Amino acid sequence: MIGITSISFLGPKGTFTHEAANLIGDDLIPYCTIPAVMESVVGNEVEFGVVPIENSIEGAVGVTLDSLAHKFDLKIYKEIIISINQNLIVNPGCRMDDIKDVYSHAQAIAQCQEFISAHKIQPHYAISTANAAKSIIGDKSKAAIGNVKAAEIYGLDILRANIQDRDNNETRFIVLSNKDHRPTGNDKTSIIFSIYEDRPGELYKILGIFQKNNINLTKIESRPSKKGLGRYLFFIDFYGHKDDSMVENIISEIDDNTYFLKILGSYPEF
């Protein structure tokens, strides 16, 4: 637990982000968008903010990566990984044959395509899994996809549990702060950089810096730089803390070979 402090999260209550935030504190304040969560931390409305950054099935959460790259100077203070069990949420007394439409966040819909297709239900996107659950109250022709907490909050039932296409469904969340986490001896560092597009082998050269220092990468992701087709930002997570001498040297060498570098923070591995 982080302690007695205020924490913003991607709401409303009943989302998987709410579930993740509960693991680090209980003074929780929901915000309706990922940028709004980040803004609440930058503006010191709260000390920490919790947002999703990647899912094991659907991949990266683009708005989180883009916001960290282009809009907000925040530090990743912690990471949280939770198993995602998607459930078919219905009104009490509802049967499978009653359901015509199902509502949920786009990622939850994508994670349950096989179930939705097999039962010939029409999917609809919602702002969040919790909003989806709230929207179906009183209508037995509608169902939602979400977690058990959402069903409890809105007085709904779980008709079918664990309906996701893959059992190894996990989401990684990050805890954002204005401050760095101290070294713990079991840390990861996240960075963003851009390479010189007109120099062949530039990405290979950057990755070679990690190889020659025997540093293992845990993630590499590319995102459009928003400066034209073929121009990308690269997000890399790797073992070590930015205050470690070896990592300091690695970051310095990367900085010498890129035209943009941003350190997103060093934090304990979950």
User: Using CB atoms within 10 A of its CB, is residue 268 exposed (0-12), middle (13-18) or buried (19+)?
Assistant: middle
- pTM, to two decimals: 0.86
Other Cβ atoms less than 10 A from the Cβ of 158: the count is: 17
Give the lowest-confidence range in 3-7, 143-147, 164-168, 255-259. Answer: 3-7
Tell me if 169 sits within 8 A of 149, measured CB to CB: no
pLDDT tier, 155 (very low <50, low <70, confident <90, very high otherwise): very high
Q: What is the pLDDT of residues 14-66, one digit of tens each?
A: 888 999 999 999 899 999 899 999 999 999 999 999 999 998 878 899 999 99
pLDDT of the residue at 169: 83
Domain architecture of the chain: domains with CATH: 6-82+169-177 (3.40.190.10), 87-160 (3.40.190.10), 187-268 (3.30.70.260)
Tell me if 27 sits within 8 A of 141, measured CB to CB: no
Instruction: List the beta bridge partners of residue 51.
Output: 174
Q: What is the pLDDT of residues 186-228, one digit of tens each?
A: 999 999 999 877 677 888 999 999 999 999 999 999 998 877 7
The angle subtended at Cα 127 by Cα 91 and Cα 158, nearest 5°, is 25
Give the separation between CA 125 and CA 104, rounded to whole angstroms.
5
Give the separation between CA 74 and CA 62, rounded to whole angstroms.
16
